[in-house]
Structure 1
Amino acid sequence: MVGVECLVAVVFAGLAPLVVEDVADEGDRIRVAARTPDRPAACPRCGALTARVHSYHVRTPADVALDARRVLLTVRVRRLVCPTRGCLRTFREQVPGVLERYQRRTVRLAGQVGAVVRELAGRGGARLLSALSVRLSRDTALRCLLRLPLPRLQVPRVLGVDDFALRRRHRYATILIDVETRRRVDVLPDRGADALEAWLRAHPGVEVVCRDGSGAYAEGVRRVLPDARQVGDRWHLWHGLAEAVRREVAAHSACWAKAGPPPTEGPRAQTTRQRWAQVHGLLDQGVGLLDCARRLNLSLNTVKRYARVPEPERLIRAPERLIRAPAFRPTLVDPYRDHLKRRRAEEPAVPVLRLFREIREQGYTGSHNLLVRYINSGRLDGDQPAMSPRALTRLLLTRPDTLTDAQRDRLDQLTAACPEMTTLAGLIRGFAALLDPTDGNDDRLTAWITTARAADLPHLHAYTRGLDLDRDAVNNALTLPYSNGGTEGVNTKTKKIMRQMHGRAGFPLLRHRILLG
């Protein structure tokens, strides 16, 4: 049978530096009476050992919960007399590893509280700790969070830079990480060239800087580290290409949209015919409507709709996006349809904003949003495409080996109907091959840009001009293994932190939580 003293030593092993004298059950809490051991203690100033007692004091810190009940310590500590002349007259002894100066919680309870508030901060941390039988307010939880020490700042060799919004369109901040270790380095309360320049001057040692296409960060790096290698973000390169592809696909929708099967011969029409045959087959056998719904795993209203029609063709109708333009309700754009159509024929890549200004001069009183929806719906060219430009763009940008056979056949059919789309598909595959960093990709990018500019794709030409403006960073992105993805990941976690504490905390607390993450 285990002795009481042995059991106390096991349960309260964290209090081993103390001498436990008594354990009392007080209902909703457990009180532990303890004292410091009777041995000499070192003076905190001169380090001299002394055992001469001046007086005694009682401290009542809280300890980790036991049996879902609070544990309160009553610790008698000694005030000792320093033997060194001219040093402290008296000092209160401390218990390293158990009690800290001015604290009302033991070290191990403070560690638990710190782990919770590190993830949940004030309100959430206080609620969770209350379930763990630890009582503290949200303000105390925040003070415990700010008391946690930040990791020592180490200047990385490869620095990742990105911004995030403190208040969208008003205030932004900058996050800095170590790209090689994904460790958070610092958070700046502003963004732009000046903020990054000041930090780089105060922390020398950076050799490579990973960033997005921001010209401000590029200028800040050039001012301080003209010889540093700047690496663009490959995700932003692909995203910029995707935007250019989407505009090109929309500009040529009148060409490729005419390809494809009619709406009455697609997979949806085949599914409709199969369901009609199943429903009527069961009805001919004398099965009731409710039983049909249960057997076919369909709703009762769907079974009724199939049962009412004598042939499946009555259920097959073209989607709303295939209705011809005369079937649309009239809008304020209709009187200017011929002018818009003529301008699109003369200049396929004409911006919608320019068209909006032209028809405004002719008397158009509608909004810019109405014009955009009018053009994107296909009413300008007569019919809406069977597939939206955004859907075709998604197929063009998807990795070919992840497409289904139906998607691959549909993509081949639509791109073959338009020479520009065939060229665009080839250029997309060529650029995607460059996103795997390899030596020589900079020369391959030059050849890709030459091929793209030779094609009749105005929006892609604009994208290549943007690449030329930051060509060195783009070349490094395609040849070096570094990426700004880690910084983007930290930004994603930062948004979660801001949602937890939005409007209730300032920048110092946000910076503290980000760096502790």
Structure 2
Amino acid sequence: MRVKNVNELVQTVFSGLSPLVIEDVTDEGERIAVRARTAQDAAFCPACGALSGRVHGYQLRTVADVPVDDRRVVVRVRVRRLVCPTPGCRHTFREQVPGVLERYQRRTARLTGQVKAVVKELAGRAGARLLAILQVGLSRHTALRALLRIPLPTGRVPRVIGVDDFALRRRHRYATVVIDAETHERIDVLPDRTAGTLEAWLREHPGIEVVCRDGSATYAEAIRRALPHAVQVADRWHVWHNLCEAALSEVKAHSTCWAAVLDAPLYDGPRARTTLERWHQVHDLLDQGVGLLECARRLQLALNTVKRYARADRPERMLRVPKYRASLVDPYREHLRKRRAEHPAVPVQHLFEEIKALGFTGCLNLLHKYINQGRADADRSHISPRRLARMLLTRPSNLKNEHHDLLDRLTGACPEMTQLTTSIRDFAELLTPCPENADRLSDWIAQARAVDLPHLHAFTRGLERDRDAVIAALTLPYSNGPTEGVNTKTKRIARQMHGRAGFTLLRHRILLG
């Protein structure tokens, strides 16, 4: 667009002020001053709506506008005070300019819109700092007030919702977020995660047919009381996570089986002897008919610890492979094995100097510890129960060829490990929702209970307690994943405000997100 004169240039630069009549533009150095007046049109009385053009007087309003040329812009507008023609109504009123000047505001509507866009993303301090760079001066308190004045979206009550909790202060205070599981829009944030609060909210919002949630018994009870006919859908990720925990426990319980394949050492020391003694103590009391809670009281152990000993049918099931982490010495293990085989009496100091010349960056003490643990003489690097469980739970197509061979050897160490592998892969196929999964789940539970895997039995009991919700998760396309995503963004918002935000401000930002 080509500008022909100064007036046209002014109208182009200040196009947002087009409802006003611009009379003059002055360069005041650090800021630009614009002098303007309202048009001579009649205006409506804000009280009775009567149209009036009778002028009682004039007033001057000073408002800030969007910066130009990296300088602040101040608009001084002469507005009219008009006389209302309706008898009994207010005597006079000051005219407003919708879209430019709002009642009681010190900024134009378009500048207010830009301020709200910034504070919506950055909130108080960060928003004020960015606006200062943009030549819009306001304090962090004003930024927060502008944020809280942004109206929250009020949409329809969704048919499918997702419910999940998040921490306001970890292990102390929690809140509940409710979203539309189909459109992923935020619906509401509740101040706690109690059953009564969620039940009251559900009763105030009838029309909900499906509720996606995690394994929380509190949420399940609230939904059951408020919406007895609604379908509850468990989260597939949490179901799979529970199976992962059960699989890891079974792998640990069979450490003596698969560790023998690798010639990996087991814990052998005071800790292992204490574990075996406790196993005998627990099972002696159980054989006498003593209950689990009484066993815990007599032995001064936690109840869950007693349950863990009770699940092991043999004391060997309590022995574990050492939890060796990856070491800086691992890349030089073959060199150490070769040198120690050729010269069994070679000093550790000489080995340290040799591998240091090869690029080793650790210390001598680390090498001593590595050799004393027997890791230098092992045929292969140590594998932990968690790593083996991870290979069991990984999609077979994502495993490397050497991992396939190693996994086949380890899972064939005992019948229970083979059955565990089969159960995991069969259950993984159920995670793709389809109507046939309801019957397939029943068959899988029956097969899992037929094998000697106590931790897997505990997992099946959990499925039975929430069977309807689990079946809905395996047969319907809904998931609580979008709610978990909102929680992830909520943590980012909380970290951004350094934990100083109260619930009102945090709720406002979540719902605006």
TM-score interval (norm. to shorter): 0.7 to 0.9
Q: Deviations over 1:9-58 (max 9, x none)?
A: 11111111011111111111111111111111111222222211111111
The residue that corresponds to 2:123 in the other structure is 121
Could you say if the C-alpha distance between residues 435 and 323 of structure 1 is closer, same or farther in structure 2, counting changes exceeding 3 Å? Answer: closer
The residue that corresponds to 1:370 in the other structure is none
The residue that corresponds to 2:502 in the other structure is 506
Instruction: Tell me, yes or no, if the aligned pair for 1:125 and 1:138 is still in contact at 8 Å.
Output: yes
Residue 468 (structure 1) aligned with residue 467 (structure 2): no
Q: Deviations over 1:384-415 (max 9, x none)?
A: 99210111111111111122222222222221
**What SS class does the counterpart of residue 478 from structure 2 fall into?**
coil
Instruction: Tell me, yes or no, if the aligned pair for 1:340 and 1:355 is still in contact at 8 Å.
Output: no
Instruction: Tell me, yes or no, if the aligned pair for 1:171 and 1:190 is still in contact at 8 Å.
Output: yes
Pairs within 5 Å for 1:36-115: 36-115=38-117
Residue 414 of structure 1, aligned match among 406, 410, 413? 410
Distance 1:344 1:247 in 2: 19
**What SS class does the counterpart of residue 79 from structure 1 fall into?**
strand
Distance 1:29 1:249 in 2: 72
Pairs within 5 Å for 1:169-188: 169-188=171-190
Instruction: Tell me, yes or no, if the aligned pair for 1:20 and 1:34 is still in contact at 8 Å.
Output: yes
Instruction: Tell me, yes or no, if the aligned pair for 2:430 and 2:437 is still in contact at 8 Å.
Output: yes
Instruction: Tell me, yes or no, if the aligned pair for 2:494 and 2:501 is still in contact at 8 Å.
Output: no
The residue that corresponds to 1:247 in the other structure is 249
The residue that corresponds to 1:4 in the other structure is 6
Distance 2:414 2:282 in 1: 17
Distance 1:244 1:150 in 2: 43
Pairs within 5 Å for 1:396-435: 396-435=392-431
The residue that corresponds to 1:496 in the other structure is 492
Distance 1:256 1:357 in 2: 34
Q: Tell me the CA shift for residue 360 of structure 1.
A: 7.1
The residue that corresponds to 2:432 in the other structure is 436
Instruction: Tell me, yes or no, if the aligned pair for 1:52 and 1:80 is still in contact at 8 Å.
Output: yes
Could you say if the C-alpha distance between residues 235 and 155 of structure 1 is closer, same or farther in structure 2, counting changes exceeding 3 Å? Answer: same
Pairs within 5 Å for 1:214-233: 214-233=216-235
Could you say if the C-alpha distance between residues 335 and 421 of structure 1 is closer, same or farther in structure 2, counting changes exceeding 3 Å? Answer: closer
Residue 159 of structure 1, aligned match among 158, 161, 164? 161
Distance 1:335 1:358 in 2: 20
Distance 2:205 2:131 in 1: 39
Residue 459 (structure 1) aligned with residue 448 (structure 2): no
Q: Deviations over 1:332-368 (max 9, x none)?
A: x36536536878999xxxxxx999999879xxxxxxx
Distance 2:279 2:140 in 1: 63
The residue that corresponds to 2:312 in the other structure is none
Instruction: Tell me, yes or no, if the aligned pair for 2:256 and 2:319 is still in contact at 8 Å.
Output: no
Instruction: Tell me, yes or no, if the aligned pair for 2:167 and 2:174 is still in contact at 8 Å.
Output: yes
Could you say if the C-alpha distance between residues 98 and 375 of structure 1 is closer, same or farther in structure 2, counting changes exceeding 3 Å? Answer: farther
Residue 336 of structure 1, aligned match among 270, 274, 281? 274
Distance 1:462 1:325 in 2: 26
The count of corresponding residues between Structure 1 and Structure 2 is 436
Instruction: Tell me, yes or no, if the aligned pair for 1:325 and 1:383 is still in contact at 8 Å.
Output: no
**AA aligned opposite 1:75:** V
**AA aligned opposite 2:471:** N
Could you say if the C-alpha distance between residues 325 and 399 of structure 1 is closer, same or farther in structure 2, counting changes exceeding 3 Å? Answer: closer
Distance 1:92 1:57 in 2: 8
Pairs within 5 Å for 1:283-298: none
Q: Tell me the CA shift for residue 204 of structure 1.
A: 1.0
Q: TM-score, normalised by structure 2?
A: 0.80
**AA aligned opposite 1:458:** P
Q: Deviations over 1:50-85 (max 9, x none)?
A: 211111111111111111111111111111111111
Instruction: Tell me, yes or no, if the aligned pair for 1:173 and 1:189 is still in contact at 8 Å.
Output: yes
Residue 322 of structure 2, aligned match among 375, 378, 395? 378
**AA aligned opposite 2:226:** V
Q: Tell me the CA shift for residue 7 of structure 1.
A: 0.9
Distance 1:394 1:194 in 2: 39
**What SS class does the counterpart of residue 176 from structure 2 fall into?**
strand
Pairs within 5 Å for 1:317-328: none
Could you say if the C-alpha distance between residues 258 and 342 of structure 1 is closer, same or farther in structure 2, counting changes exceeding 3 Å? Answer: farther
**What SS class does the counterpart of residue 452 from structure 2 fall into?**
coil
Distance 1:359 1:413 in 2: 39
Q: Deviations over 1:306-344 (max 9, x none)?
A: xxxxxxxxxxxxxxxx67767xxx76x365365368789
Distance 2:230 2:442 in 1: 23
The residue that corresponds to 1:208 in the other structure is 210
**AA aligned opposite 2:140:** R
**What SS class does the counterpart of residue 162 from structure 2 fall into?**
strand
Distance 1:499 1:357 in 2: 43
Instruction: Tell me, yes or no, if the aligned pair for 2:177 and 2:190 is still in contact at 8 Å.
Output: yes
Q: TM-score, normalised by structure 1?
A: 0.79
Instruction: Tell me, yes or no, if the aligned pair for 1:154 and 1:185 is still in contact at 8 Å.
Output: no
Distance 2:186 2:392 in 1: 36
Residue 199 of structure 1, aligned match among 160, 180, 201? 201
Greater shift after overlay, 62-71 or 414-423? 414-423
Could you say if the C-alpha distance between residues 354 and 402 of structure 1 is closer, same or farther in structure 2, counting changes exceeding 3 Å? Answer: farther
Residue 130 (structure 1) aligned with residue 132 (structure 2): yes
Residue 389 (structure 1) aligned with residue 385 (structure 2): yes
Residue 28 of structure 2, aligned match among 26, 29, 37? 26
Greater shift after overlay, 409-418 or 232-241? 409-418
**AA aligned opposite 2:395:** R
Unaligned runs of 5+ in 2: 285-292, 302-317, 324-372, 376-380
Runs of 4 or more consecutive aligned structure 1 residues displaced over 4 Å after TM superposition = 322-326, 340-346, 353-361, 374-377, 382-385
Distance 1:76 1:8 in 2: 18
**AA aligned opposite 2:161:** L
Instruction: Tell me, yes or no, if the aligned pair for 1:247 and 1:459 is still in contact at 8 Å.
Output: yes
- What root-mean-square deviation, in Å, do the aligned CA atoms of Structure 1 and Structure 2 show? 2.8
Distance 1:132 1:387 in 2: 56
Unaligned runs of 5+ in 1: 263-321, 347-352, 362-373
Q: Tell me the CA shift for residue 376 of structure 1.
A: 4.7
Instruction: Tell me, yes or no, if the aligned pair for 1:80 and 1:92 is still in contact at 8 Å.
Output: yes
**AA aligned opposite 2:277:** H
Could you say if the C-alpha distance between residues 201 and 428 of structure 1 is closer, same or farther in structure 2, counting changes exceeding 3 Å? Answer: same
Instruction: Tell me, yes or no, if the aligned pair for 1:153 and 1:186 is still in contact at 8 Å.
Output: no
**AA aligned opposite 2:491:** K
**What SS class does the counterpart of residue 61 from structure 1 fall into?**
strand
Pairs within 5 Å for 1:233-312: 233-260=235-262
Q: Tell me the CA shift for residue 192 of structure 1.
A: 2.0
Distance 2:397 2:297 in 1: 44
